[in-house]
Amino acid sequence: MLMSRQSIVTPLVVVSCMLGIAFMQFPRLQKLLNSRQYIPLATLEKELQQEKVRLDLLKQTPSFGYDNLMANWVYLNFLQYFGDDEIRERTGYSLSPEYFDIILKHDPRFLEAYIALSTSTSLYAGVPERSIALMSESLKSLSPHVPEKSYYIWRYKGIDELLFLGDAKASESSFLMAANWASQYEDEESKFVAFTSQKTAEFLSRNPNSIYAQIATWGMILTNPVDEKTRKRAIDAIEKLGGQVVINPDGTSSIKLPPQD
């Protein structure tokens, strides 16, 4: 009977803690994000500061063993935050890494979170060093098969290092790790990732300032399941580098490289 009570009480404690923190600060932000009327920037900044306080508190909140629950719940909070384009255009995306600091702390195996981390933190918040640091720390807890196809995390890290930090050497190392981890799988998708990652690393080794490598890396972003505004940013970046994104008759896209690297 004692064990039964504990099994019931513990999750209730976890949920109560999470809801308690949310109710302290989140309702006003929720109301704000759902509003489409004009709100003074000072008010928006005040509300976001309150959300920052809530996230800081969540970083210190124990999960009592329910890490996946905490990670999923905070990820849903992030999606709501990131998806409000109207508000984000006025206030920016500075809280993005704060969400993922919590998410990946509780569940570094949350593979789907990493592409959102890279996009929101490197591309939109403009702090790729935070994205890379969070991925680097989480990778210490992972292996080629934990989680399945975790090699993608090395790819995301390599993309951020090359495109947003201009660190070709670090990017080369990340793509080599992606190739190594992907080569341990037998499916066609993994074989393709292993091949392209290896070739990207070799290309960076020979020509670390290659425009072709940058275009190809932006192209990797296009192959991921990203939102439309991220897709547009990637296409714009490719075009600024002299490349061209061509939409094929079957709906797929390909990239036409400039005449010279």
222-253 per-position pLDDT tens digit: 887 777 888 888 899 999 999 999 888 887 78
Helix (H) or strand (E) run with residue 247 in it: strand 244-247
Segments forming the whole domain that contains residue 202: 142-150+158-261
How many distinct structural domains can be found in the chain?
A: 1
Q: What is the pLDDT of residues 91-120, one digit of tens each?
A: 899 999 999 999 999 999 999 999 999 999
Q: Determine, yes or no, domain membership for 233.
A: yes
| Structural domain contains residue 108 | no
Average pLDDT over all residues of the chain: 86
| Domain membership flag for residue 201 | yes
78: in domain: no
Predicted TM-score (pTM) above 0.75:
yes
Q: Residue 96 domain-assigned?
A: no
The reply to whether 33 falls in a domain is: no
User: Is 207 within the bounds of a domain?
Assistant: yes
- Answer yes or no: is pLDDT of 7 > 70: no
How distant, in Å, are the alpha carbons of 47, 65, 97, 135, 188 from that of 27? 10, 27, 21, 31, 47
CA atoms of 66 and 89, how far apart (whole Å): 34
Cα 82 to Cα 42, 99, 227, 228, 246, distances in angstroms: 19, 10, 11, 13, 29
In a domain, 54, yes or no: no
